[in-house]
Structure 1
Amino acid sequence: MTAPCPSPSQAADETRMPSSRSLRGIDALSFLMADVRDGLGPFLSVFLKGNQNWPSGQIGIVMAASGVAAAIAQVPAGLLVDSVRAKRLILATAALCVAAGCLFIARFPMFRAVLAIQIAIGLASAVIAPCLAALSLGLVGHRRMPSRVSRNESLNHAGNFVAAVLAGGLGQFVGVMWLFYLVCLFSLGSAAAVLLIRPHEVDHETARGGEQHVDAGQPARPLPLREFWQRKTVRVFLVAVVLFHFGNAAMLPLAGQLLAKTHPGADVIALSACVIAAQFVMVFVAMAVGHGMRRGIGRKPIFLVAFAVLPVRGLLFSLTANPYAVVGIQLLDGIAAGIFGVIAIVIASDITQGTGRFNVAQGATSLAVGIGAALSQVTGGFVAERFGFAMSFIVLSGVAGFALLFFLLCMPETGGKLATADAGPDATSAASTRAIE
């Protein structure tokens, strides 16, 4: 009995050898974009409060505007990236928009201007993650994507670590205004790094999760969106992402509020230590995840480790308000978030292979993250106000425990070929019936 012939996509994956220059470009983008995606982030509130004496209400509005705009734009951004070939141009334009926005805020720190710029930064940042993931997939192919994502995330966390250290030093010794220039420097570096990627080495059909060719020799059409959303594995995965962040997102902000209440004066430095320590751990966790997948460990057991860490972290937070203990407990977030950053992209690649909807799935995943985080913040804040911080951590731990059970019982392993029941009766002939698969 002869072995089945590989599909054109599989054959292309085996022979695809991107140049070291293009791979260095992806490395540089992964590192530099870490400080670009969110603009100034929480440091904007420090600038507006400390330097401009804005009221807290207006600060809250402009801080929320970027996140809301980014959340609304996630799925459209994925559709855009799936549809166009100018991914390098989109990525460079987004980076330059963030740089221009930061300079504009520094020059014109007025409410309406800052609000408009924050919305623009949110819209620009929405295309960064799917563009970077698409370029990575288009360069290395599906088979090498897990290792590539692991490397991307390690460099991203290293970039966050370096940016946090530089921001802390600049803000402390030079002035908050220099944080604007730091973001601009990273943005300009990101735009320059795009030029390292050779455009002819990016397979744009693979970059959107599609097959190389159908029998007629023409690019396959993407799976209709209605059929894509009807896939059980897609829905289960997105619900799991919502639950993961529902149980996780509010824990560190609540710990910060608890420290501010019980240890005034030590809260800021403790939170800074939490962020830096967690990012440091994430660098090595992301590398370990890639190593584990190369050794044949499935996506599901690795992700289950991240789910299992969350309830433990919440219960430990409920037992202490010691700043040193909070920093130590936050290292667990480095494990959970480090795993999520790699596995979520890899699973999205798995469940969209052959559909042409990889970046739509990326956008939907980011939207699910935002929904889960919002639910976590609202629920955690309400419970803390009514019943105390310890109870809020316990409630979030309960949600995290439910998330663990949901993922364990409902999500299949995606490392191999998905069950044909999920994709439809014609999925077994994917190479010749791409439009159905």
Structure 2
Amino acid sequence: MVLIPGRATTASNMENPTPSKARSLNCLNWLNFSAADVATGLGPFLAVYLASNLKWDPSEIGIAIGAMSLATVIAQSPAGWFCDVSDKKRLGIVIVTLTICIAGFCMLFFPAFYAVIGCQIAIGVAAAFFGPVLISLAMGIGGADRFDHTISRNQTFNHAGNVASAVIIGLLGKFTHNEGIFYGLAIFCAMSIIFTLGIRENDISHQSSEPVAGKKSGKTGMLDMLKNKGYLILLFSAILFHFANAAMLPLVGQELGRDEGSNASLYMSACIVLAQAVMIPIAFMSGKWAKKGRRKLMILAFVMLPIRGVLYTLYKGAPYLVSIQVLDGIAGGIFSVVSILMVADLFRGSGKDNFAQGILATSVGIGASLSNVVSGYIVSHAGFNYGMFILSAIAFAAFIIFYFMMPETINVPARRLDIAE
């Protein structure tokens, strides 16, 4: 039997999940809530801490942020492979969560340059496992026929978690001269472990999707994944999108750190809260809107990014910079849901779902790591506005490529992916 996206199957119908699975799905939602902060480390809050407390320059901060992203790039594909072959997904979440918590405290107590870089690398490797594992759990608990609904709910909780963590960590940073951000990370690490253990092992199907009729499962490498034209375009577009996107908020954080002093963490918190507050309804509705077409919805996300970059250069006041985050909320809410659904469309039934999701996450990480390192040097030598114009130009290129080359993926039969024969 071939599973087609959006088409219910009696074998895996989850319209009325059992009470046990309903509880596990609820724990998965709350795991996404708490993991929102854990899976990104300290994100832009670290940029504020390094600029304000340690007085690092933009190039050094770019290296620190980029080190985590680069480590994530290297670990993402193995993380996806892990999800395809392992039935120890809960244990994996616990281990990587503890790793991130310990590395966070090491940065606080050993703030030397190379120590921070080493901790960022450890966090990046650990964080790589969150995306593929959480997606795999969504498929394994919710079922293929309910995947759109499960992912949109998961991402809604994820963005709500970003709001909560931004408020809590922002307040901790405000009243502890930014050092409290590390304790905030530890709080969300503890929550993630609790919710992970709340998911019942028996409720997880570790076979991500049914195989296509007439196909035998086989070993798959990265080159096999790139045989699919739509997938290749999506990967390249994602690299450009996140190259343009990843550095924008950390660069704004550095501006706030220099201009606002002890209030910088609070303003950074406001940036994240506003963006994530917009992402919550957008992510929730994206699961429904995407049923009518993935491509046209994703185009809206791509067009928001160059507009946002240009707007950052027009004025420097903190309230103005914060308000622009509405556009980030629209783009991020759509991308977080629809990119996952597009990969699932293209690979459903192939048995390679999680590996494909891992490679997509690798593409996102490539863009993010290059973004932070390159933009840090650009801003150091040419200034904030010039750096934002460069990022906006790259974002516009990503929009053009996606608009003219990316096909629609919904209701694409799994047999279209002709691999592992």
| TM-score normalised to structure 2 length | 0.85
Matched with 2:283 is: 286
Matched with 2:223 is: 226
CA contact (8 A) 1:157 1:282 kept: yes
CA contact (8 A) 1:77 1:130 kept: yes
Match of 1:149 among 148, 151, 171: 151
DSSP-derived class of the 2:184 partner: helix
For 1:257 and 1:105, locate their aligned partners in 2 and report how far apart those are by CA, in whole Å.
19
Instruction: Report the more deviating stretch, 158-167 or 246-255.
Output: 246-255
Matched with 1:273 is: 270
Matched with 2:303 is: 308
For 1:257 and 1:178, locate their aligned partners in 2 and report how far apart those are by CA, in whole Å.
18
Q: Which runs of 5+ in 1 are unaligned?
A: 425-433
Tell me which amino acid in the other structure corresponds to 2:169.
A
1:126 aligns with 2:128: yes
Match of 2:72 among 70, 73, 79: 70
Query: Structure 1 350/172 Cα, relative in aligned 2: closer, same or farther at 3 Å?
Result: same
DSSP-derived class of the 2:207 partner: helix
1:355 aligns with 2:350: yes
1:338 aligns with 2:333: yes
For 1:435 and 1:313, locate their aligned partners in 2 and report how far apart those are by CA, in whole Å.
42
Matched with 1:429 is: none
For 1:220 and 1:36, locate their aligned partners in 2 and report how far apart those are by CA, in whole Å.
34
For 1:109 and 1:379, locate their aligned partners in 2 and report how far apart those are by CA, in whole Å.
23
Matched with 2:247 is: 250
For residues 217-275 of structure 1, give each alpha carbon's deviation from its aligned partner in whole angstroms, at most 9, with x where no partner exists: xx8445454322222122111011112223333333444556678x5657665443222
CA contact (8 A) 1:32 1:187 kept: yes
Matched with 1:211 is: 210
For 1:7 and 1:62, locate their aligned partners in 2 and report how far apart those are by CA, in whole Å.
43
Matched with 2:82 is: 80
For 1:173 and 1:259, locate their aligned partners in 2 and report how far apart those are by CA, in whole Å.
17
For 2:382 and 2:179, locate their aligned partners in 1 and report how far apart those are by CA, in whole Å.
40
Report the alpha carbon displacement of residue 108 of structure 1 after superposing the two structures with TM. Answer: 5.2
Work out which structure has the larger RCO, using CA pairs closer than 8 Å and 6 or more positions apart in sequence.
2
CA contact (8 A) 2:44 2:253 kept: no
CA contact (8 A) 1:223 1:355 kept: no
Tell me which amino acid in the other structure corresponds to 2:31.
L
For 2:378 and 2:62, locate their aligned partners in 1 and report how far apart those are by CA, in whole Å.
21
Query: Structure 1 161/214 Cα, relative in aligned 2: closer, same or farther at 3 Å?
Result: same
For 2:328 and 2:406, locate their aligned partners in 1 and report how far apart those are by CA, in whole Å.
22
For 1:400 and 1:270, locate their aligned partners in 2 and report how far apart those are by CA, in whole Å.
25
For 1:365 and 1:156, locate their aligned partners in 2 and report how far apart those are by CA, in whole Å.
19
Matched with 1:184 is: 186
> Paired residues, what number?
413
Q: Which runs of 5+ in 2 are unaligned?
A: none
For 1:317 and 1:44, locate their aligned partners in 2 and report how far apart those are by CA, in whole Å.
21
Query: Structure 1 42/300 Cα, relative in aligned 2: closer, same or farther at 3 Å?
Result: closer
1:324 aligns with 2:319: yes
Match of 1:159 among 155, 161, 175: 161
Report the alpha carbon displacement of residue 161 of structure 1 after superposing the two structures with TM. Answer: 1.0
1:409 aligns with 2:404: yes
DSSP-derived class of the 2:324 partner: helix
Query: Structure 1 20/245 Cα, relative in aligned 2: closer, same or farther at 3 Å?
Result: same
Report the alpha carbon displacement of residue 112 of structure 1 after superposing the two structures with TM. Answer: 5.8
Instruction: Report the more deviating stretch, 42-51 or 175-184.
Output: 42-51
Query: Structure 1 236/419 Cα, relative in aligned 2: closer, same or farther at 3 Å?
Result: farther
For residues 382-433 of structure 1, give each alpha carbon's deviation from its aligned partner in whole angstroms, at most 9, with x where no partner exists: 665676654544443333222222112211111112596x534xxxxxxxxx
| TM-score normalised to structure 1 length | 0.82
Structure with larger Rg: 1
Tell me which amino acid in the other structure corresponds to 2:75.
A
Tell me which amino acid in the other structure corresponds to 1:354.
G
DSSP-derived class of the 1:30 partner: helix
DSSP-derived class of the 1:332 partner: helix
Taking every aligned residue pair, what percent have the same amino acid on both sides?
A: 37
Query: Structure 1 362/89 Cα, relative in aligned 2: closer, same or farther at 3 Å?
Result: same
CA contact (8 A) 2:163 2:273 kept: yes
Report the alpha carbon displacement of residue 170 of structure 1 after superposing the two structures with TM. Answer: 1.8
Report the alpha carbon displacement of residue 369 of structure 1 after superposing the two structures with TM. Answer: 1.5
Matched with 1:195 is: 197
Task: Give the root-mean-square deviation of aligned CA atoms.
Answer: 3.4
Tell me which amino acid in the other structure corresponds to 2:350.
T
For 2:50 and 2:44, locate their aligned partners in 1 and report how far apart those are by CA, in whole Å.
10
DSSP-derived class of the 2:292 partner: coil
Query: Structure 1 100/200 Cα, relative in aligned 2: closer, same or farther at 3 Å?
Result: same
For residues 30-85 of structure 1, give each alpha carbon's deviation from its aligned partner in whole angstroms, at most 9, with x where no partner exists: 0111121133344456666777x586687765554333222211111111221111
Instruction: Report the more deviating stretch, 278-287 or 380-389.
Output: 380-389
